[in-house]
Structure 1
Amino acid sequence: MKIVIGNDHAALEMKREIAEYLKGKGIEVLNVGTDSPERYPYPLAGYHVAKTVAEGGADCGIAICGTGIGISLAANKVPGIRAFACSEPYSSEMAKRHNNANVLCFGARVVGTELAKRIVDAWLNAEFEGGRHKERVDMITELERNGRLEENRL
């Protein structure tokens, strides 16, 4: 498995720790974030993570900024990306099981390293359930492509 990881300046240390954690699990990690404490825009980091996943350069991605919110908003602008900001393991697991989320985002100023590892593990260990959830993910894809949904899908 290959995971792309990106960050802004607020998440430099968190990115390093999570990348090492993943490598320790035998996961290949591609770094597209900043390695400098100098100001770095989270939209750029989110875009690079999302673009890498969307183009097939990685199986999935992790994007980290101060809160996880801004970077997830940016990542979700890339077609094919289902990014989510998360601060606890249950929602992380459900994002994969029900939404087949492909980019996990969290905030270095919101969660500590050990909690971040639990969030990552919950997401990576979960499997997409398909079925009725696939129908809903397909609706999200339709919305992304067309900018609308047909009401008769209720």
Structure 2
Amino acid sequence: MIAIGSDHGGFELKGHIIEHLKEKGIEVKDFGTYSEASVDYPDCAKPVCKAVLDGECECGILICGTGIGISMAANKFKGIRAALCGDVFSAKMSKEHNNANIICMGGRVLGRELANMIVDTYLEAEFQGGRHADRIKKIHEIETM
């Protein structure tokens, strides 16, 4: 199951991504927001991050206006590796090299089709391990400092 959440700036794109994933037969848990009323992106990142960390969902998608704020908030959670993705190559590398467990996008900067391609690419990619696993271990070591 994929966790998804957004603030008001990502609300519209979130709806399109949910439709896209459901059409592909992928189960999605929507953690809100549920309207375009103004909300704070850290509050929207929290339940998605917790669902990923608790194993309730295998990975997550977070969306705010630019993707920047929500990715910053998500990366404050120990064990979360949230990658801001604005293109397909970054989405692929975020999984293959960085083993990102959440991708973040900007609802005000990405079109629907590109966002769908980013999501598909991320979900289809696989972590390559090896030297990349050593680097992920170093990230986790930083979290304990």
Question: If the length of structure 2 is used for normalisation, what is the TM-score?
Answer: 0.98
> What's 1:112 paired with?
111
Match runs of 1:8-19 below 5 Å:
8-19=7-18
For residues 144 and 20 of structure 1, what CA distance do their matches in structure 2 show? 35
User: Which one-letter code corresponds to 1:105 in the other structure?
Assistant: C
Structure having greater relative contact order (Cα 8 Å, sep ≥ 6): 2
Query: Which deviates more from structure 2 when the two are superposed, residues 101-110 or residues 40-49?
Result: 40-49
Aligned-pair Cα RMSD in Å: 0.7
**Aligned residue for 1:60?**
59
Shift of 1:134: 0.3
Superposition pairs of residues 93-108 of structure 1, within 5 angstroms: 93-108=92-107
Deviation at 1:135, TM superposition (A): 0.4
2:30 counterpart letter in structure 1:
N
Residue identity in the other structure for 1:58: C
Could you list the runs of 5+ residues in structure 2 that have no partner in the other structure? none
SS at match of 1:138: helix
Count of aligned pairs: 145
Deviation at 1:33, TM superposition (A): 1.6
Tell me, which stretches of 5 or more residues in structure 1 are unaligned? 148-154
Cα distance, 1:138 vs structure 2: 0.6
Cα distance in 1 between the residues matched to 2:14 and 2:91: 18
Q: CA deviation at 1:25?
A: 1.0
